Amino acid sequence: MDGVIKIEVPGRPPLAAFNLDGTFYVTDDTCTHGEASLSEGVIEDGLIECPFHQGCFEIATGRPAAAPCTVPIRAYRPVIERDLLHIEDDGA
Ligand code: FES
């Protein structure tokens, strides 16, 4: 079963952590088209559909997959260590 939660991290924009059938992905949570929280969207076929205007992004890569989204969201490499989810962030 697929799911997503919003993660608030002090000092940075919120993240969205996805579990797609046991595989974890992390992206920025805020849509690049507006101020929507993608963790409130709908997951379907590896895409997250924005709750505001139904644009889509590929969860694994952050690439826009449906209009009106044209700017990618950042996708981070998740690492699971001792049941904790970490991300590699180069600060870019
Ligand atoms: S705010 Fe996400 S598609 Fe418009």
Tally of domains in the chain: 1
- Which atom, in ligand 1's list, is nearest to the CA of 36? 1
**Per-residue confidence (pLDDT) for residue 9, from 0 to 100:** 87
Mean pLDDT of the 6-17 span: 94
Report the alpha-carbon distance of residue 65 to residue 61 in Å, rounded. 10
- Cβ neighbours of residue 11 under 8 Å, at least 6 residues apart? none
Is residue 69 in contact with ligand 1, taking CB distance under 6 Å? Answer: yes
Ligand 1 atom nearest to 31, measured from its CA? 2
pLDDT in tens, 49-84: 999 999 999 999 999 999 999 999 999 999 888 888
At 24-55, the pLDDT tens digits run 999 999 999 999 999 999 999 999 999 999 99
Token duo for residue 67: 């209009």
Q: What is the CATH number of the domain that holds 80?
A: 2.102.10.10
Non-local CB neighbours of 82 within 8 Å, separated by 6+ positions: none
33 φ/ψ angles, rounded to the nearest 5 degrees: -90, -25
Domain hosting 19: range is 3-88
